[in-house]
Structure 1
Amino acid sequence: MSHTAHIPSHRKPRRSAPKTALRAGVAGGVLSTIAVAGAAGPAQAEPVTRTIEMPTITDGLSTAVAASAQATEQVAQDLRTQAQQDEAAASAAKAAKKAKAEAVRKAEAKKKAEAAAKAKAEAALRASRTQARTTLSAPTGGSPASTAVATSSSSSSSSSSSSSSATGSAASVVSFVKAQVGDAYVSGGTGPNSWDCSGLVQAAFRTVGVDLPRVSQAQSTAGTQVSLSNLQPGDILYWGGAGSAYHVAVYVGGGEFVGAQNSSTGVVQRSLSYDPPSGAVRVL
């Protein structure tokens, strides 16, 4: 016997033909299917490479910084705006205060100017009366006209004492003007507590139903011209020329008159010698 006769054979047993054929057919079918699928499938596209930029931590930080800077700028702008508004308000208040002070100053200046003008006008009136009185009483070398004026003035003083009693309407006029003595003088005044010269005369004659003109110039020609030596109570005295008189009063008898003289004296009762008139006119 061979020395290997009892050693089992290590050769693999042969597969049966049917199994081998089946396996071969399956393998072939699989390979053919893969081949056919590979041939029939679409061509593979080139791979697309896309870079995705991933956010980093610095992106969020820069956004926060930008927002903070914008907020800071807005606060600064608001502060600047408020400061401008405050400055504008302060300037407006300062301008208003200055304008008010200027208005007060102008008002005071106007008031002083009006007072000065009034004082000047009164001074001019007194001066004109003084000049007229001086002209009437000054001697002119014995001329007939000056002699007549002097004679008239002297005789009026003597005759006036005998004509001191008023009757009828004249008495009412005299009583009215005497009742106003002490009232104030106001240019353009027509009563009841302040008068100018022609306003007082007009009101006095209105009490007896006589409507005189308003101004002294017209009142000096409202009736019959009479001599100063023949005065009667109720006659209208005037200073200046007839038709251009600058002052009037009422003769009340006894060599006296009542008139609204000026703002310093008001309505007074004075002697004819205090301010001799230029002429007289009789209405009643």
Structure 2
Amino acid sequence: MIQKLIIIGTAALLLICGTEKVHASSYYWAPKTKISNVEVTVSAGTELELPTEMNHDFEKDGNNLEDEQNGNPIIREARKYLGVPYVWGGTTPHGFDCSGLVQYVYAQCGKKLPRVTTQQERCGRKIPLNQAQPGDLYFWGISGQTYHVALACGNGKFIQAPAPGQSVMVSDVHFFRPDFAIRLD
């Protein structure tokens, strides 16, 4: 099931990006309902129709964040960049990748972090996912080989720069579950 969704997402990205290289794990989907018999055939000039039974649970505004978390300076800063486009290697408000967003937001709040996820995960201590608080970091992948990072907002929400063709947005752990969390030192 997940493999089929990754194939569909990759096919969609290839159509959107043309001949640019796309990493399949950079596009995140989570099924809302069961999908069966998904078939994807892609050729040049073909328009791809994606299944309607998908729930991205991504929001381009922060209205679903609890008011109490808005007082957190990290989350307040991160909210400023909702809607900024994803750019591979992006580290500025002109475009962010996941670790570039995290690095930039923390720098604006006076804390210097390294550039990439595998370095950022070493800047704190692991905590249980259910104990993540606003400003903690969520990671996807195994420790030492992470491929995605986001800023925890509390109540299972996080702010991320998800993938090519998308923008900085609020997402939910119920639809894109992190592998572990870090509380920065």
TM-based fold match above 0.5: yes
TM-aligned CA deviation for residue 193 of structure 1:
2.4
1:281 pairs with 2:165: no
More strand by share: 2
Larger relative helix fraction: 1
What is residue 120 of structure 2 aligned with on the other side?
A: 219
Provide the aligned C-alpha RMSD in A: 2.6
- The 3-state SS of whatever aligns with 1:257 is strand
> 1:212 aligns to what SS in structure 2?
coil
Q: Distance in 1 between matches of 2:70 and 2:98?
A: 23
Task: Give 1:222 shift.
Answer: 1.1
Counterparts of 1:58-77 in structure 2, within 5 Å, are: none
- Count of matched residue positions in the alignment of Structure 1 and Structure 2: 136
**Structure 2 unaligned blocks of 5 or more:** 1-14, 31-65
Counterpart in the other structure of 1:248: 149
Q: Is the 8 A contact 2:150 2:161 kept in 1?
A: yes
Structure number with larger C-alpha Rg: 1
- The reply on whether 1:165 has 2:68 as its aligned counterpart is yes
Q: Does 1:116 align with 2:19?
A: yes
The structural deviation recorded for 1:271 is 1.1
Measure, in 1, the Cα distance between the counterparts of 2:70 and 2:80.
Answer: 17
Matched, 1:192 2:93: yes
Higher RCO (C-alpha under 8 Å, 6+ residues apart): 2
Partner of 2:79: 178
2:167 aligned to which of 266, 269, 276: 266
Q: Does 1:205 align with 2:90?
A: no
TM-score w.r.t. the length of structure 2 is 0.65
Secondary structure at 1:117 match in 2: coil
- Give the Cα separation in 2 of the matches to 1:115 and 1:184: 18
Aligned residues with identical type, % of pairs:
33
In structure 2, how many angstroms separate the alpha carbons of the residues matched to 1:241 and 1:199?
Answer: 20
**Secondary structure at the residue paired with 1:281?**
strand
Distance 1:165 1:213 in 2: 28
Aligned-residue offset at 1:124: 4.6
Q: In the alignment, does 2:137 pair up with 1:228?
A: no
Inter-partner Cα distance in structure 1 for 2:20 and 2:70: 43
Deviations 1:127-153 (A, max 9, x none): xx67xx9xxxxxxxxxxxxxxxxxxxx
- State yes or no: 1:257 paired with 2:168: no
**Residue 189 of structure 1 contacts residue 196 of structure 1 at CA under 8 Å; is this kept in 2?**
yes
Give distance in 2, aligned partners of 1:165 and 1:244: 33
TM-score normalised by the chain length of structure 1: 0.44
User: Aligned partners of 1:234, 1:166: CA distance in 2, in Å?
Assistant: 9
Q: Which runs of 4+ in 1 moved over 6 A?
A: none
1:201/1:249 contact within 8 Å kept:
yes
Q: Alpha-carbon deviations, 1:151-183, whole Å to 9, x = none?
A: xxxxxxxxxxxx983487xx1110111111111
Conserved? CA contact 1:164–1:254, under 8 Å: no
